[in-house]
Amino acid sequence: MEVNLVTEGLKFMVLGMVTVFLFLILMIIILHFQAKLINKFFPQKVASTPSRPTSAQASSKKDDKALVAAITAAITTFKNSKS
């Protein structure tokens, strides 16, 4: 009896690919079920956005204006010193 190694190799390849494919499908199904279960018992809280700017945001705007003024003064001084 002669064994064709190419045919046997193809059989093992197909068997391995089917096994991996079925495992991945099973894993996807389990992960979807797990996500639904976690969302059911531990729902995510929605963060509310503040309607007024906080003091940190207001001071950041002041700092930005001061920074722009400093950069403008530096550029003006640099241009005047070149002339």
| Residue 82 lies inside a defined structural domain of this protein | no
Instruction: Please indicate, yes or no, if residue 4 is contained in any of the structural domains.
Output: yes
Q: Would 36 be classed as within a structural domain?
A: yes
Residue listed under structure tokens 């920074």: 67
| CA distance linking residue 65 with residue 67, whole number of Å | 5
Question: Is residue 57 a part of any domain in this protein?
Answer: no
The domain in which residue 2 lies consists of: 1-43
Decide if 26 is inside a domain: yes
Q: Is residue 77 part of a domain?
A: no
Computed from CA positions of residues 17, 22, 25, 27, in that sequence, does the dihedral angle turn out positive or negative? negative
Going by C-beta distance under 8 Å and a sequence separation of 6 or more, which residues neighbour residue 53?
61
What's the total number of domains in the chain? 1
> How does pLDDT run across 22-40, given as a tens digit for each residue?
999 999 999 999 999 999 9
Give the tens place of pLDDT for each residue, 63-80.
788 888 899 999 999 999
Residue 6 lies in a domain: yes
pTM equals 0.48
